[in-house]
A and B are shown apart, each in its own frame.
Chain A
Amino acid sequence: MSRPRVYKTEAVVLGGTRLGEADRLVTLYTQRRGKVRAVVRGALRPRSRLGGHIQPLTHCHLMLAVGKGLDVVTGCQILNPSIPLREDLVYQARGFYLMELIDNFCPEGLENRALFSLLVDTLEHLCLSEGGERVLRRFEVRLLDITGFRPELHRCLGCHQALEPVTNYLSLSAGGLLCPPCAPEQPPVHSLSVNAVKVLRLLQEADMETVNRLKLAPGLAAELEAALKGYIQFVLERRIKSGVWLERLRRELGPNGSLGGPQNGR
């Protein structure tokens, strides 16, 4: 049977670049075909019927025509425009981080419905939730799980004994925790407090409602963020650039939302 020339799928727009005079080359994470690159013809023209729909962070229903090289977007209906993620600098930075993670973890053309559901669910909660950082931590943990990099958090990967409730060590190369006696043998490691391990275990299993109820002390949140970012960087063998931007914004934004710094002041 020949492959259909047109197909419909739900998708989240991850990003895009200009192509030629007025076209746009977009990266999509689709429900049916995983990551797909496609062309939106005339997207940069002001009167384009598709340009406004195919913007990053948008969850939409798409119709695509199979092209010789790249597929072509022929129709689009928005399911979630993620408006709150566009109107606030920090919310938007979280959105950028989410998109970059998916783009880096997923090869083209590999369907993964669990990951698509996770992405849609996370986008929705990033728009609603006050605890955006907790939502991102859950996303990171679940992403590692779904893509086959789930860290072992219950047994020591050195001696295979159940872990004691003491400070243990996350080994990046071993892919999980090591007990204190085994840790020095397998660097590089991140020390993880008892509470951090408990929260990570919870994030591996918890649904979004539980995560929304979670209260994390600033120190514990920073510890979790550092451990997960280090682990992800080790897995991808590169830094997530939007993560740097997000950190910078959090550092620079004052309590009233304005940016301070040495260059400011009139």
Chain B
Amino acid sequence: MDHLSVPTSRPLSRLIESLHRMPGIGPKLAQRLAYYLLRASTDEAQSLVQAIVAVKEEVVLCSVCQNTADTSPCALCQDPARDRSLICVVEEPLDVLALERSGAFKGRYHVLHGCISPIDGIGPEDLKIRELLARMHDEEVQEVIMATNPNLEGEATSMYVQRLLSPLGVKVSRLARGLPFGGDVEYADEVTLSRALQDRHSL
């Protein structure tokens, strides 16, 4: 037991410690959440417990797109209305949600579950790149859109995948990089501005 075990109740200390292990939750927040749960009704606490257990027991990785889902293949991969010739490659399942919210993409996805990060020792074999290559053999894919994050690691991942896929005759593109809607040209950095100029299009 450590500094978190100030509360006199042992179950409470255990809960605080468990919450504190989660990303983004510091000791103070862990204590507040634990005391909130202590005061919450038994039904609310039971519902939370069931939700956590269900996530662990029922969520699977889709065998096609590697996204988290209830079934494998997932609903998106089974949807006949989606364009099977287009695959959008993203780093995390949350990126799929963001793209789906935009409503602008009607193809299918592939989730890599991370990005290449040499400094952290994360290489291509730690990602779902092999599964992406397998899809190139099994499906009639015409274009792969790289939607990795626009940072150094995301760029490395995109470039690596592009070099793997290009010899297979698949068109590889990536999301345009430029000024965000509502942003200020004055405050844009040089890299964003130069890429916005490169990727400009006629009005």
On chain A, the number of residues with a Cβ less than 8 Å from chain B's Cβ atoms is: 41
Cβ contact within 8 Å between A242 and B156: no
Is A152 an interface position by the 8 A CB rule?
no
Closest to A79 in B: B190
Contacts of A204 in B (CB 8 A): none
| Bound-state Cα–Cα, A266 to B168, Å | 6
Cβ contact within 8 Å between B119 and A100: yes
Cβ contact within 8 Å between B189 and A81: yes
Q: SS class of chain B's interface: helix, strand, loop or mixed?
A: helix
Which of A20, A52, A89 is in CB contact (< 8 Å) with B160? Answer: A89
Closest to B160 in A: A89
Cβ contact within 8 Å between B188 and A52: yes
Closest to B192 in A: A52
Is A263 an interface position by the 8 A CB rule?
yes
Is B103 an interface position by the 8 A CB rule?
no
| Bound-state Cα–Cα, A88 to B123, Å | 17
B169 to chain A, nearest CB (A): 7
Cβ contact within 8 Å between B191 and A81: yes
Which of B163, B182, B189 is in CB contact (< 8 Å) with A89? Answer: B163
Contacts of A21 in B (CB 8 A): 24
| Bound-state Cα–Cα, A92 to B168, Å | 24
Is B166 an interface position by the 8 A CB rule?
yes
Cβ contact within 8 Å between B191 and A86: yes
Closest to A52 in B: B189
Closest to B184 in A: A49
Contacts of A49 in B (CB 8 A): 184, 187
Which of A99, A103, A266 is in CB contact (< 8 Å) with B137? Answer: A266
Is A210 an interface position by the 8 A CB rule?
no
Closest to A54 in B: B189
Cβ contact within 8 Å between A266 and B182: no
Cβ contact within 8 Å between B152 and A55: yes
Q: Mark A242-266, 1 if CB is under 8 A from B, else 0.
A: 1011101000010001111001111
Closest to B149 in A: A44
Which residue, of A55, A83, A92, A259, has the highest number of chain B Cβ atoms within 10 A? A259
Contacts of B189 in A (CB 8 A): 52-53, 55, 78, 81
Is B80 an interface position by the 8 A CB rule?
no
Which of A15, A53, A81, A248 is in CB contact (< 8 Å) with B119? Answer: A15
7 contacts between A and B (CB under 8 A): A49-B187, A52-B189, A55-B191, A86-B191, A246-B118, A264-B167, A265-B168
Known: A46-B180, A55-B191, A263-B130. 8 other contacts (CB 8 A): A55-B189, A83-B194, A92-B156, A92-B159, A246-B118, A258-B163, A263-B133, A265-B167
Which residues of A come within 8 Å of B, CB atoms? 15, 20-21, 46-47, 49, 52-53, 55-58, 78, 81, 83, 86, 88-89, 92-93, 95-97, 99-100, 103, 241-242, 244-246, 248, 253, 257-260, 263-266
Give the 8 A-B CB pairs with smallest separation, nearest first: A52-B189, A245-B118, A242-B118, A266-B168, A46-B180, A49-B187, A241-B121, A53-B189
